[in-house]
Amino acid sequence: MINSSLHQLGSALRAGKISSVELTQLYLDRIAELNPALNAYVTIKAETSLDQARRADTLLAGGKAQPLTGIPVAQKDIFCAKGWRTTCGSKMLENFIAPYDAHVITQFNNAGAVNLGKTNMDEFAMGSSNETSHFGTVKNPWDRNAVPGGSSGGAACAVAARLCAAATGTDTGGSIRQPAALCGISGIKPTYGTVSRYGMIAFASSLDQAGPMARSAEDLALLLNVMTGFDERDSTSLKRDKEDYARELNKPLAGLRIGLPREFFAEGLAQDVAGCVNAAIGEYKKLGATIVDISLPNSRLAVPVYYVLAPAEASSNLSRYDGVRYGYRAPEYGDLTEMYERSRAQGFGEEVKRRIMIGTYVLSHGYYDAYYLQAQKIRRLIAQDFDDAFRLCDVIMGPTSPSTAFNLGEKGDDPVQMYLSDIYTIAVNLAGLPGMSVPAGFGSNGRPVGLQIIGNYFAEAQMLNVAHQYQLATDHHDHTPQNIGL
Amino acid sequence: MSLTNADVRKVASLARLGMTETEIESAREQLSGIFDLIAEMQAVDTNGITPMSHAQDVTQRLREDVVTEGDQRELFQSLAPQYKGSPQVEAGLYLVPQVIE
Amino acid sequence: MIHKTIVRAPEWEIVIGLEVHTQLSTSSKIFSGASTTYGAEPNTQADAVSIALPGVLPVLNKGAVERAIKFGLAVGAHIAPRSVFARKNYFYPDLPKGYQISQFDLPVVGQGVLTILVEPLSGNAKPYEKVVRITRAHLEEDAGKSVHGESQGLTGVDLNRAGTPLLEIVSEPDMSSAAEAVAYAKTLHSLVRWIGICDGNMQEGSFRCDVNVSVRRPGGPLGTRREIKNLNSFKFMQQAIDYEVQWQIDTLENGGKIHQATVLFDADKGTTHAMRSKEEAHDYRYFPDPDLLPLEISEEWKEQVRATLPELPEAKRNRYVKDFGLSSYDAGILTASREVADFFEAALNPPQSPLVRGEASSSPDKGRPGGVEAKLCANWLIGEVSAQLNRDGLEMQQSPVTPQQLGGMLKRIADGTISNAAAKEVFRTMWAEGGDADSIIEAKGLKQVSDSGAIEAIVDEIIAANADKVAEYRSGKDKLFGFFVGLAMKASNGKANPAQLNDILKKKLAG
């Protein structure tokens, strides 16, 4: 049961082979056993989840089930869920009980899914290793000395360790794809504007995008069907016809043009990762795809541009955490300024404060044009590179991350090294394109490698087709870590 | 690029982040490293390029002028931070140290 | 009070510009569906967006944009086809997000103009017109309110007002006296109410003025300005500017320097003083709000809004001069507020709708070009009606005499039924007791005598009884004419039609 696809689980639930309560309890038991070591979840509310499961069982019994009814899904702790503590990985919100539901949560509730718990994450989604969480590091289930990636590290760990049927993540610069790659699972960040940001705690508003994390492309399609859709409460939510992301899963790939950007295979890419990605490309050739050599000349600038724009937006987005209306307030202070400065200094972790400072600096008087405006101009150049590339190919492929999961603490002291681990994922967010990562084997240290697939705007169904056909032909995504009680 | 401690102090003050001199010193080192990384982008000729603020070239949607939200004060103020053991709300107001004008 | 003793050195020039925050009269907030009603219990209208809960997002209110367009069209400004919302970042307890959503580089309303009528405060100077340039007007959200003194050492924060839509209207520094600044503010105040975008309630903060003041030597470079914040009455504005100007002149003449500052006006002392908390150099770190997309206003939408605009005060004033033969000054008074203009037009045309648009001015029943009635009506409104309103402390719309009542009475003056003197009595009765003109005239027997036979009889009697005076008159003492009129009026109990009486007297005296 624990290794079944969402489709299989849904069938089993609808056929009455298992109840949602039983399935939920099964995962809760696994969480109780494994979470103390892995730390994938920060909040579990077993009774609330089981109540939801009971309601799902009623729907199932009444023949009113939808594809995800009764399925336990882990929610990244960045989504406000009414009555649930919602921390965003921060001491600032350690005791914050969300008074409303994010759009994503509403969508899952309406689909009859069970909220299994809130997953650990880098504080305010700022990090690539999950080490910036106030609630402790998450372990990579493949090797507990390794990071799970970030910021959706808890979600990736939970999916890989079979502590949920599927999970949600968010991706501002690679936060779904990179942990998916490092934990050997599948994850997709859809086109910006496809999933409503309402109730998703903001990091960098113009880049943040939610998406599903699961074990296969097929599962991702079902999840995306639930998560996407127009929401009038988010001004950047796009009004589009509802689509079935599973509709193209079984299309043959003959004639598919795959673009390989030179820049993604240059210096800085680990040999073992390159090996796995090249093997995957080989597999695609066997499936009838043709390979096109492309260039994304400005992609080298994606990291610097991102580290101007994302902190700038974040510095402003995080100003609301001032200890006045909710959240952390310092225990001791004199005047108002001291209350602000101490509450924020004590409530935020080091990485968050660092990014607030970068952002404040680049927006401040005299620097705006040289940093912020310049970065926005290069952002356009980066987006144009992709436009040009998609004239030559249907999808772009490359590594998700330059290396397999690094060791816990390995990059802790060097923010620049940490930032460079997102070198292949960031450009996609800047352009607003959809991107995904699927398992493509294992590196020399036995840790997973991810293949990144980038599509044109709104090409999610095509990308899922491309990923699904690969997963039919290979079994990388079916591997499970040792020591997870299976 | 090298930042000075004064730069860091000013930024920390604008962002209302209380920092000790030791923290300022270490932040200065790390931020300088990050700005070295960022500096790479400054050499690029971007003359005539329109800045890109949004991923999609769409325009603002408008909501009708209708009141849709009711009074949720009790729920929202149950979230108010505590100070010396008591929630910082009184008579429906959020409380802060006195603001001097 | 100090402002009364001002001695303005002629070698100084005063430069004044205004920034006016008008609360737009929408039902809901600019970026959320919370109510904007004034005076609710603290924080009961502070929804998730108003208190900036994590994860909430702004969506722009169409009603706020519509009102901004209306204003732009009313001052002949360019309406930006594309404008952008930006974040203005600073920390303050009444600013829950830590930034205010405003417009910076690309405001919705561009340059426009406002014609003002200035009434100098002193001496025999005559009222004059001046055109003040409007730099821009932009949409933004209001902040909450800080309540002081509830508890010792604490400030209470009420976020009901946070997110109320504001249109900030910025003028060029075109004004050169307190009188001009006040005239500009009053004209603007009247205009925003006129076009229905703001209730104009200054006590409730719906219309708040920041005044930038500097002084300089004529022809010299501009002086450093100080900004007087949050003036919520025209009287205070006048006093604050007078004090501030004198203070700046005194400071400079004593060898001091003016430092840029934000100052507050203390109404009790009649003085201005620099704010303590805002002295820190501001660095607002404006950048385009990534949660909001560019606002597009199509030509089509603009024209739809234009079609809903009432005839504007300036157009109305010109029309009153041209069609009714009113003086520019009288027309200005009648168009100083929508209520007065509406009253005026309703009194002219009792059965007609009070909101007559400019294009309709050629309709046959309207205007009475060169007619007596409009002038008469104007005189009554500016004279008797406004005097009574002042005496009773009432606004135009609270007048106990309706336009229909007044119009009915004016008709009786025009058709000779009553004299002006009798009309005053009719009016006083209507004001105090109600009732229409005709029944009051009837009840009080105020109808004037227009029967020429009856008047001739009176005149004959007088001539017969005053042969000596008649002889004097006929020998050239014209001034005695008034004496005869007086006698005749007295004899008719004041009811003789004066025009008729004049004619008959003249004829008979001439022999």
The number of C-alpha atoms within 13 Å of A31 and in the hemisphere containing its C-beta is 28
User: Among C249, C273, C299, which residue terminates a domain?
Assistant: C299
- Provide the shortest C-alpha distance from residue C184 to chain B (in Å): 28
What is the per-residue pLDDT for C4?
A: 45
Interface contact C220, partner B, CB < 8 A: no
Contact B41 A358 (CB under 8 A): no
Q: Which residue of A has its CA nearest to B75?
A: A99
Domain range A6-256, CATH class: alpha beta
Residues in A 252-281 with any Cβ partner in B closer than 8 A:
none
Q: Which of B41, B60, B72 to mutate to test the interface with A (most CBs of A within 10 A)?
A: B41
Q: Is C55 within 8 Å of A364 when comparing Cβ atoms?
A: no
Q: Of C444, C473, C499, which residue is a domain's last?
A: C444
Q: Does C197 touch chain B (CB under 8 A)?
A: no
| pLDDT at residue C442, as a whole number | 86
- Among A21-25, A36-40, A195-199, C392-396, which stretch is predicted with the lowest mean pLDDT? C392-396
Residue with tokens 């899963």: A249
Q: pLDDT (tens digit, 9 = 90+) per residue, A397-410? A: 999 999 999 999 99
- List chain B domain ranges: 5-43
What's the burial of A339, exposed, middle or buried (CB within 10 Å: 0-12/13-18/19+)?
Answer: buried
Q: Which of A20, A76, A139, A411 is catalytic?
A: A76
pLDDT confidence band for A433 (50 / 70 / 90): very high
Number of domains in chain C: 3
Domain assignment present for residue C25? The answer is yes
> pLDDT (tens digit, 0 to 9) for every residue of chain C, 511 residues total?
344 445 555 689 999 999 999 999 999 999 999 999 999 999 999 999 999 999 999 999 999 999 999 999 999 999 999 999 999 999 999 999 999 999 999 999 999 999 998 987 666 778 898 999 999 999 999 999 999 876 788 999 999 999 999 999 999 999 999 999 999 999 999 999 999 999 999 999 999 999 999 999 988 899 999 999 999 899 999 999 999 999 999 999 999 999 999 999 999 999 999 886 554 568 999 999 999 999 999 999 999 999 999 999 999 999 999 999 999 889 989 998 899 999 999 898 754 333 333 334 443 334 443 345 889 999 999 999 999 999 999 999 899 999 999 998 998 888 888 888 889 999 999 999 999 888 998 888 888 777 778 888 888 888 888 889 888 888 888 888 888 888 888 888 778 888 888 888 888 888 7
- Confidence check: pLDDT of A224 > 60: yes
Determine the residue of chain A that is closest to C155 in CA distance: A336
Helix (H, G, I), strand (E, B) or coil at C136: strand
* Integer angstrom CA distances of residue B4 from B23, B24, B39, C332, C444: 13, 9, 16, 61, 91
**CATH number of B5-43: 3.40.50, 1.10.20, 1.20.120, 3.30.2450?**
1.10.20
**Using the beta-carbon criterion (under 8 Å), do A235 and C91 form an inter-chain contact?**
no
- Looking at residue C493, its pLDDT comes to 79
Residue A364 C-alpha from the chain's centroid:
31
Q: Concatenated DSSP letters for C182-247? A: HHHHHHHHHHHHHTTS----TTTTSEEEEEEEEEE-TTSPPPPPEEEEEE-SHHHHHHHHHHHHHH
Q: What is the mean pLDDT of residues B79-84?
A: 92
Which of B10, B13, B16, B29 is the best substitution to test chain A (most A C-beta atoms within 10 A)? Answer: B16
Chain B, chain C: beta-carbon pairs less than 8 Å apart: 126
CB contact, 8 Å: A313 with chain C? yes
Residue C457 Cα distances to A365, A414, C451, C471, C500, angstroms: 92, 117, 10, 20, 13
Chains contacting C (3 or more CB pairs within 8 Å):
A, B
ipTM of this complex prediction, to 2 decimal places = 0.97
Known catalytic residue at A343: no
Asked if the model's pLDDT at residue A242 lies above 60, the reply is yes
Final residue of a structural domain among C418, C444, C470: C444
C19 and C142 housed in the same domain: yes
**Which CATH number fits the domain that encloses residue C484?**
1.10.10.410
pLDDT surpasses 70 at A479 = yes
What is the rounded average pLDDT of the residues B3-20? 96
Q: Are A331 and B7 an interchain contact pair (Cβ–Cβ within 8 Å)?
A: no
A198 contacts C57? CB cut-off 8 A = yes
- Backbone Cα Rg of chain B: 23
Q: Which of A84, A88, A320, A360 to mutate to test the interface with C (most CBs of C within 10 A)?
A: A320
Mean pLDDT of all residues belonging to chain A = 97
Is A360–C285 a contact, with Cβ atoms under 8 angstroms apart? yes
B11 contacts on C by Cβ (under 8 Å): none
| A73, A132, A399, A434 from A213: Cα distances, Å | 10, 21, 18, 14
Name the maximum alpha-carbon separation found in chain C.
Answer: 100
Segment 1-60 of chain B within 8 Å of chain A by CB: 3, 7-8, 10-12, 14-19, 27, 30-31, 33-42, 44, 46, 49-56, 58, 60
pLDDT of C369 reads 38
Taking the C-alpha atoms of residue C411 and residue C126, their distance in angstroms, rounded to an integer, is: 33
Alpha-helical runs (H) found in A390-459: 415-420, 426-431
Chains touching chain A, criterion 3+ CB pairs below 8 Å: B, C
Nearest CB to B55: which of A193, A335, A345? A193
SS (H, E, C) C69-119: HHHHHHCCCCECCEECCEEEECCCCCCCCCEEEECCCCCCECCEEEEEEEC
> Of C195, C205, C209, C248, nearest to C77 (Cα)?
C195
Q: What is the pLDDT of residue C279?
A: 46
| Closest-CA residue of chain C to B17 | C91
Does the annotation count A175 as an active-site position?
A: yes
pLDDT at A237: 97
Catalytic residue among A175, A299, A401, A403: A175
Report whether pLDDT(A329) > 90. yes
Which candidate in A151, A237, A343, A401 is catalytic? Answer: A151
Distance CA C419, CA A273 (A): 106
Characterize the bridge pairing of strands C99-102 and C226-231: unpaired
Which range marks the domain in which residue C206 is found?
Answer: 2-299
Q: C420 CB near a chain B CB, below 8 Å?
A: no
pLDDT tens digits for B18-63? Answer: 999 999 999 999 999 999 999 999 899 999 999 999 998 899 999 9
Q: Which residues of C touch B93 (CB under 8 A)?
A: 42-43, 147, 150, 156-158
pLDDT band at A236 (very low <50, low <70, confident <90, very high): very high
Rg (CA), chain C: 29
pLDDT at residue A72 tops 90: yes
Q: How far is A297 from chain C, CA to nearest CA, in Å?
A: 26
Minimal C-alpha gap between B4 and chain A (Å): 12
Q: pLDDT at position C455, please?
A: 85
Among this protein's residues, is A76 annotated catalytic? yes
Tell me what pLDDT residue C362 has.
40
C305 occurs within a structural domain: no
C86 & C176 share domain? yes
